[in-house]
Amino acid sequence: MASMTTRSDNPASSRFPVGRQAFPHRDLTGIGRLQRHEILFLLAEAQQWVEFNRQSAKHGDLLTGLTVINAFFENSTRTLLSFEIAGKRLGADVVNMHAAQSSVKKGETLIDTAITLNAMRADAIVIRHGSSGATQLIADQVDCPVLNAGDGQHEHPTQALLDALALREALVARGQSADDFTGLTITICGDILHSRVARSNLLCLQALGATVRLCAPPALMPTGIEAMGAEVHHDFDAALKGADVVMMLRLQTERMSGQFIPSPREYHHLYGLTKRRLGYASGDALVMHPGPMNRGVEIDSDVADMIDRSIITRQVEMGVAIRMACLEVLTRARRGVKGWS
């Protein structure tokens, strides 16, 4: 078995309040509920799992005997698989519930589904749902930690955390600060209106000190988003000017009723990240995308695959480490870890 650290021998943990004060939440429903030091705590905890996951043998036992249920009411590749891998690498029994094959299809309500999962004595429930607030609704009905794997247009907290971890790693590789994103300008461009990723990232990146620019066609920009402290742009070239990081988002057609853009071709012309357009950003700007990508629409392949600038596959790698950290930290009380009950 690969060697495994716990909080007590994780050097990063000494920078944070002791025990439960470091992360006094039962659930992870949104970045909006977290303090800056709590975000940094999860990032620091995840770092040990990044290293653990790079070993050839990567099976631990901290969560042995615990049952993690991944209840996904919407499609997913990255989030579902990485939560499953994360739970298994920590030694938990992981069960996936796909809504398409569940009794939801027979008319069972979300609350009755939650009560059913709770009766099976899950030790953690990971939820993805198409309705904003669904995760909190379930959290209010169950006795175990609930982790939001994306709820409607509200939040996707573990995505924002993994994005921060990937960005931090890239900055450290360039000799820059690990924890403080002050002075960094990050342009997020795409379907901001329907994006829980944009919302969680805005909250997370600002908490870490970054300046965030949001760019979208007027029809895909939420009204009043400036109140959250973002710079709002509709001209992509202007939004890119001098940016240190460019994060592209796909058009979430599954959430659109009616036509929001004239055509994918016209959208690409105005808002697609091409190599030429990346030239408006800073000379070594990093490129990010949470996936899934629609190549040739919001991002060109020759940008998405730039080995020296794109950290898109690193984002996926960090997803497993972040989800391990979240599952491990949120189950400490149940596991009777000293200072966490």
Stretch that binds ligand CP, among 14-22, 204-212, 289-297, 305-313 (CB under 6 A): 289-297
Closer of 156 and 332 to ligand CP (Cβ): 156
Using the structure block, give the residue that is written with the tokens 């450290």.
Answer: 172
Is residue 290 within the footprint of ligand CP (CB under 6 A)?
Answer: yes
The edge-to-edge listing of strands for the beta sheet with 146-151 is 93-98, 67-72, 124-129, 146-151
Closer of 53 and 118 to ligand CP (Cβ): 53
Report residue 76 as tokens.
Answer: 């997913």
Is residue 292 within the footprint of ligand CP (CB under 6 A)?
Answer: yes
Report in angstroms the alpha-carbon separations of 6 from 12, 52, 63, 98. Answer: 11, 12, 12, 32
Is residue 159 within the footprint of ligand CP (CB under 6 A)?
Answer: yes
Stretch that binds ligand CP, among 50-58, 72-80, 230-238, 321-329 (CB under 6 A): 72-80
205: left (phi over 0), alpha (psi -120 to 50) or beta: alpha
338: left (phi over 0), alpha (psi -120 to 50) or beta: beta
Is residue 77 within the footprint of ligand CP (CB under 6 A)?
Answer: yes
Is residue 152 within the footprint of ligand CP (CB under 6 A)?
Answer: no
Is residue 76 within the footprint of ligand CP (CB under 6 A)?
Answer: yes
Is residue 253 within the footprint of ligand CP (CB under 6 A)?
Answer: no
Is residue 195 within the footprint of ligand CP (CB under 6 A)?
Answer: no
Report residue 133 as tokens.
Answer: 């607030």
How are beta strands 93-98 and 124-129 bridged, if at all? unpaired
As a whole number of angstroms, the distance between CA 300 and CA 294 comes to: 9
Is residue 301 within the footprint of ligand CP (CB under 6 A)?
Answer: no
Stretch that binds ligand CP, among 94-102, 181-189, 198-206, 288-296 (CB under 6 A): 288-296
DSSP helix, strand, coil percent of the chain (3-state; round to 5): 45, 15, 40
User: What does the per-residue mask of binding to ligand CP show for 24-63, with x meaning CB under 6 A?
Assistant: ----------------------------------------
Residue choice 19, 91, 264, 291 for contact with ligand CP (CB under 6 A):
291
Is residue 79 within the footprint of ligand CP (CB under 6 A)?
Answer: yes
How are beta strands 124-129 and 67-72 bridged, if at all? parallel
Contacting positions for ligand CP (CB under 6 A):
76-79, 150, 159, 290-292
